Amino acid sequence: MRTVAVPLGERSYPVVVGAGASGELAALVPGGVRRVAVVTQRAVGVEVDTGRDQRTFAVPDGEGAKTLSVVEDLCRGFSAFGLTRADCVVGIGGGVVTDLAGFAAAVYMRGVAVVHVATSLLGMIDAAIGGKTGVNLPEGKNLVGAFWQPAAVVCDLDHLATLPPRQLRSGRGEMAKYAFIGVPGLLELGLEDQVAACVACKAEVVGADERESGGRAILNYGHTLGHALETVGGYTLLHGEAVAVGLSFAARLACRLGRIDPAGVERHDRVLDSFELPTRLPEGARAAELISVMGRDKKAVDGLTFVLDGPGGLEVVAGVDRRAVEATLVDMGAR
Catalytic residue numbers read 110, 132, 174, 202, 212, 216, 220, 223, 227, 239
Q: Are 112 and 83 in contact (CB under 8 A)?
A: yes
Coil, helix or strand for 21?
helix
φ, ψ for residue 261 (rounded to 5)? -100, 175
Residue type, 48: V
In DSSP notation, 50-110 reads -SSEEEEEEPPSSGGG-SHHHHHHHHHHHHHHT--TTSEEEEEESHHHHHHHHHHHHHGGG
Judge contact between 106 and 148, C-beta under 8 A: yes
d(CA 284, CA 177): 26
Cα–Cα distance for residue pair 149/132, rounded to 1 Å: 8
Buried b (16+ CB within 10 A) or exposed e, 241-252: bbbbbbbbbbbb
